[in-house]
Amino acid sequence: MTFMAMITCLPHMLLLANPDEWLVRLKQTIVHWLPGPWQFVISSLITIAVLIAVFGALFAVATLIERKGLGRIQNRPGPNRVGPYGVLQPMADAVKMLIKEDVVPRAADRVVHFLAPLVLVAPVMLAFSVIPYGQGLVPINLDAGVLFFFAVGAASELAVFMAGWSGHNKYSLLGAMRAIAQMISYEIPLVLSTVTVVMMVGSLSLVQIVAAQGGYWWGVIPRWNIFAPWGLAGFVVFMIAAIAESNRSPFDLPEGESEIIAGFLTEYSGFKYAVFFMGEYFGMFAISGLAITLFLGGWHAPLPYLGWVPSFLWFFGKLFIFLFVFIWLRGTLPRLRMDQLMNYAWKCLLPLALINIGVAVIWRFTAGWPGPLRWLVCALLIVLAFVWLEKTWMKSRELKPRTYHYAS
Amino acid sequence: MQAAFFIIAALIVIGGLAAMLVRKLVHAVLWLMVTLASLAALFLLLGAQFVGFAQILVYVGAVAILIVFAILLTRNSEWAKAGRLASPSWLVGVGIAGLATGCLIASILASSIPPGVPVPPAASVADIGQKLMTEYVLPLEAVGLLLTAAMIGAVIIAMPEDKRG
Amino acid sequence: MIPLKAYLVLSALLFGIGLAGALSRRNAIMVLIGIELMLNAANLNFIAFWRFHPGTEPLAGVMFVLFSIAIAAGEAAVGLALIIAIYRHYKTTNLDRMDSLKG
Amino acid sequence: MLGEGIIKGMVETARNFFGSYHDPARFVTIQYPEQRVPLKENNRNFPFLVFDGADTEKGLRCVACKICEKECPPQCIYIVPERDAHGKLQKHPKIFDIDISTCMSCQICVEVCPFDAIKMDQEFELSTGDRFSNLLLHKQDLAKPNDYYHKIHPTEATLVDAQLAKERQLAAQRKAGAGAAPASPPKHAPEKLVPVG
């Protein structure tokens, strides 16, 4: 019955003027044929299943792209054995991870050791539920979406601690302590750069934040936040903090394999390790999705006459660009030292984010000014702040001639 | 709704009891987190969305990590070994707590609260923001000052004594 | 529908658990955890009363809880800093051993 | 400027990324089982036994003198000489085993062999599922023709062949000069060939 209804509906759906509606209509059609009390449950289950399937597939693709991309950056072909051009490599990796022995150290706290990967992955999946993927394609339109995102993100710190502590391994604990210190430090610039957007839009709902970025200036430049000076600075601060938050290179100290084996993952193997790995990629997708929503106009098309492309394709296209930038950075930058990492968060990003909030306030109260002047004044303020920061930084890093004590 | 309330209430009570009874401090923190997260769920159930998320953000994201750091910084073998967890006068403490709880519950049950359930009051984020910036702006500033003072105080107290001068 | 009394009883139970723990455990950190439980019991009361008896001030309960959460965070930070400072001095977090006033 | 180095690095890696697609010269990777780098002539791996002619058994240059067995530092060579029906030692190995799981490719056996009977092979794809039986090479596995030796080490093999021919000629002369006197081994071992590089 349901299936037949879908078949009969299909041509009707394809003829819709707005292609964004396809998925929404499809789900409505399916749910419509169910008995009343089940509609809500099935509707939620469909959303959950689609989210898990899409991001699970994206995870597989991302690992492949990462390995191929890193290979190309290092002038290697990357994995190319399993399937044509190595496209089946993620399956091979998954099978390998699944059939590996699941080692639990004898001294480990078994329950906490088992729970840690779940506590990491479940909140990240919750974070997916507030991001608008397309026009009308938002799992839950929460009034306090941004707050929800950061609230569930906070649980990952606890998960990292659980993973590090339960192994009874000094490297695990060291890695967990590093990870927590790093995540707490970088959460502050992350939230502060989000605050500018929330302040300008006047809402914590991600749907409204995207809606506020619709339209175009002079019919060409999209009204995305990144094209405002505070948005650009905020985006840069947000992205740096986001990379640190998702423990990616160059901020991958918690897993620095040359120093502390694998950090909090030292005692994990097999499927639990795979779950951790998946959690980290999911975290990367979630925070990239938030960055797209906050600064890059969410699902809005970059040019006005491209509006006929389904909106979710724009979202995922932007997500792939983010993914590539993450990989590019990983292929380029070496790992930071712990003191550099902390200094960077507290002495560079935090002041920049605070100054950026001030600039956003100025932008807000100069709405009557002519556009370019307003833009230039605000940009100048940020550049001044940056130059001032640079001077103080460079001064502290001045190289002195090296002196040798024993060799003459 | 009823089932949700009872599950959450059971989690809160079990988490609280376990947090107070277990031997390992880290386990106590994890049980505390169970309680506090369930409490956040109860807030959501009661329609206080913003408070629920703030509860998770502050307690799971900040307080739990603080306590964990404190545990690791004050680690000694004293608690891991078999030893008495409770102070010698624990019976008095539990007695007082039981008495207080008994009085509270007795007075709650004896009180004449109307049993009806009114319409849930709206608490949109915009409303809360509006209130915070107008009516509650003085408490907000005071809390800001208090948190700054607490942060500076915590840093100075926890600093090693030889560096303090 | 769950009546207000159920929430109040739950809150009283949580308060009792926290109080018992804070009064009887020997470890300073455990006492702090007990105090956190008591604070949260109070928060639950505020939210429950706000939900069932909005009164004239529509958001007072929510506001109170928000401020209470902020203050609880500050309290935890200062309390744990104190515990660390005391640990440095006495090399213990056992409250029964912190009985000397001479310092 | 702060961040300048990062941008420079990003440009470099981007150039690598795109360059690897249109400039095959950038690729340093060899697709190993299909593509192979030709081995250097002096490459060596594990020893093998050279035989002349067509018969694996009779053509073996090895006389079972056991010098290599004694010299082998990890003691991976095991030799049992052939005996005839009367128990008299023959100049031929009955068993010649090399345990290549212990062999360290030091080439000392080659250096000490007075008869140029043992040489270094270039075979390296020796991985196997059974390390106890499949890595213990017996005489029939080790014996390889002189042509093979010429193929893998052409320069060295030509020198060895010339040397052997000279020795054979000397021996024939001595035999002709000494008449029926029993053939004695050369007074001093012929000058050994030291592989270049």
The C-alpha atoms of residue B117 and residue D146 are separated, in whole angstroms, by 101
The verdict on a CB contact (< 8 Å) between A154 and B26 is no
Q: How many CB atoms lie within 10 A of CB A377?
A: 15
Q: Would you say residue A140 lies in a domain? A: yes
- In this predicted structure, the answer to whether residue A78 has a pLDDT above a threshold of 90 is no
- In this predicted structure, the answer to whether residue A201 has a pLDDT above a threshold of 80 is yes
Residues of B with CB under 8 A from a CB of A: 26-27, 30, 33, 49-50, 53-54, 56-57, 60-62, 64-65, 68-69, 72, 124-126
Q: Using 50, 70 and 90 to split pLDDT, how confident is the model at D188?
A: low
Q: Tell me which residues of chain B, numbers 62 to 101, contact chain C at a CB-CB cutoff of 8 Å.
A: 62-63, 66-67, 69-71, 73-74, 76, 78-79, 84-94, 96-98, 100-101
Query: Region A310-337: what's the mean pLDDT?
Result: 88
Q: Using 50, 70 and 90 to split pLDDT, how confident is the model at B68?
A: confident
> What local confidence, expressed as pLDDT, does residue B93 receive?
83
pTM, two decimals, is 0.80
The verdict on a CB contact (< 8 Å) between B125 and A144 is yes
Are residues A18 and A65 both part of a single domain? Answer: no
User: CATH topology for B1-77?
Assistant: Four Helix Bundle (Hemerythrin (Met), subunit A) (1.20.120)
- In this predicted structure, the answer to whether residue C94 has a pLDDT above a threshold of 80 is no
A274 Cβ partners below 8 Å, 6+ apart? A94, A97, A98
Are residues A58 and A138 both part of a single domain? Answer: no
Query: Region D177-191: what's the mean pLDDT?
Result: 55
Instruction: For residue C94, give the 3-state DSSP assignment.
Output: strand
A148 CB neighbours in chain B (<8 A) are 53
The verdict on a CB contact (< 8 Å) between D13 and A332 is yes
Among A161-170, D44-53, D184-193, the range scoring the smallest mean pLDDT is D184-193
Q: Would you say residue A256 lies in a domain? A: yes
Are residues A255 and A180 both part of a single domain? Answer: yes
> What local confidence, expressed as pLDDT, does residue A408 receive?
57
Q: Would you say residue A230 lies in a domain? A: yes
Are residues A140 and A272 both part of a single domain? Answer: yes
Q: Using 50, 70 and 90 to split pLDDT, how confident is the model at C101?
A: low
- In this predicted structure, the answer to whether residue C103 has a pLDDT above a threshold of 50 is no
Q: Using 50, 70 and 90 to split pLDDT, how confident is the model at A180?
A: confident
Q: Would you say residue A244 lies in a domain? A: yes
Q: Would you say residue A402 lies in a domain? A: no
Domain count of the fold of chain A: 3
Query: Region A63-75: what's the mean pLDDT?
Result: 89
Q: Tell me which residues of chain D, numbers 28 to 47, contact chain A at a CB-CB cutoff of 8 Å.
A: 28-29, 31
Do A275 and A185 meet the contact criterion of CB atoms below 8 Å apart?
Answer: no
C5 part of contact set with chain B, CB < 8 Å = yes
Q: Is the dihedral of CA A74, A75, A80, A81 positive or negative?
A: negative
Instruction: For residue A210, give the 3-state DSSP assignment.
Output: helix
Are residues A89 and A158 both part of a single domain? Answer: no
The C-alpha atoms of residue C27 and residue A203 are separated, in whole angstroms, by 44
Q: Regarding predicted confidence, which is higher, C52 or D109?
A: D109
Are residues A122 and A64 both part of a single domain? Answer: no
- In this predicted structure, the answer to whether residue A397 has a pLDDT above a threshold of 70 is no
Peptide linkage before B88 cis (omega within 30 of 0): no
Q: Would you say residue A106 lies in a domain? A: yes
**B60: nearest CB among A112, A154, A202:** A154
The verdict on a CB contact (< 8 Å) between A393 and D17 is no
The secondary structure of chain D, three-state, reads: CCCHHHHHHHHHHHHHHHHHHHCHHHCCCCCCCCCCCCCCCCCCCCEEEEECCCCCCCCECCCCCCHHHHHCCCCCEEEEEEECCCCCEEEEEEEEEEECCCCCCCCHHHHHCCCCCEEECCCCCCCCCCCCCCCEECHHHHEEEHHHHHHHCHHHHHHHHHHHHHHHHHHHHHHHHHCCCCCCCCCCCCCCCCCCC
Q: Would you say residue A406 lies in a domain? A: no
Do A66 and A154 meet the contact criterion of CB atoms below 8 Å apart?
Answer: no
**A293-310 per-position pLDDT tens digit:** 999 888 888 887 777 777
* Interface-testing mutation among B32, B34, B60, with chain A (most A C-beta atoms within 10 A): B60
The verdict on a CB contact (< 8 Å) between D26 and A75 is yes
Q: What percent of chain D has pLDDT over 70?
A: 89
Please state the ipTM of this predicted complex.
0.75
Give the mean pLDDT of chain B: 83
Query: Region A172-192: what's the mean pLDDT?
Result: 88
Range of the domain at A78: 53-99
Query: Region A61-71: what's the mean pLDDT?
Result: 90
The verdict on a CB contact (< 8 Å) between B58 and C15 is no
- In this predicted structure, the answer to whether residue A1 has a pLDDT above a threshold of 50 is no
CA torsion angle for A269, A274, A280, A285 (degrees, to 10)? 170
The C-alpha atoms of residue D89 and residue D78 are separated, in whole angstroms, by 16
Q: Tell me which residues of chain A, numbers 314 to 333, contact chain D at a CB-CB cutoff of 8 Å.
A: 328-329, 331-333
B152 part of contact set with chain C, CB < 8 Å = no
What's the gap in Å between the CA of B150 and the closest CA on chain A? 17
B91 CB neighbours in chain C (<8 A) are 24
Are residues A66 and A200 both part of a single domain? Answer: no
Q: Tell me which residues of chain C, numbers 37 to 56, contact chain B at a CB-CB cutoff of 8 Å.
A: 37, 40, 43-44, 47-48, 50-54
- In this predicted structure, the answer to whether residue A13 has a pLDDT above a threshold of 60 is no
Q: Which domains does chain D have, with CATH numbers?
A: 47-192 (3.30.70.20)
* Interface-testing mutation among A76, A344, A396, with chain D (most D C-beta atoms within 10 A): A76
Among A330-334, B140-144, D23-27, D111-115, the range scoring the smallest mean pLDDT is D23-27
Q: Would you say residue A1 lies in a domain? A: no
Are residues A383 and A328 both part of a single domain? Answer: yes
Q: How many CB atoms lie within 10 A of CB B24?
A: 14
Q: Which two tokens stand for residue C89?
A: 């001095």
D31 CB neighbours in chain A (<8 A) are 77, 80
Q: What percent of chain C has pLDDT over 90?
A: 17
- Cβ-Cβ pairs closer than 8 A, B with C, add up to 242
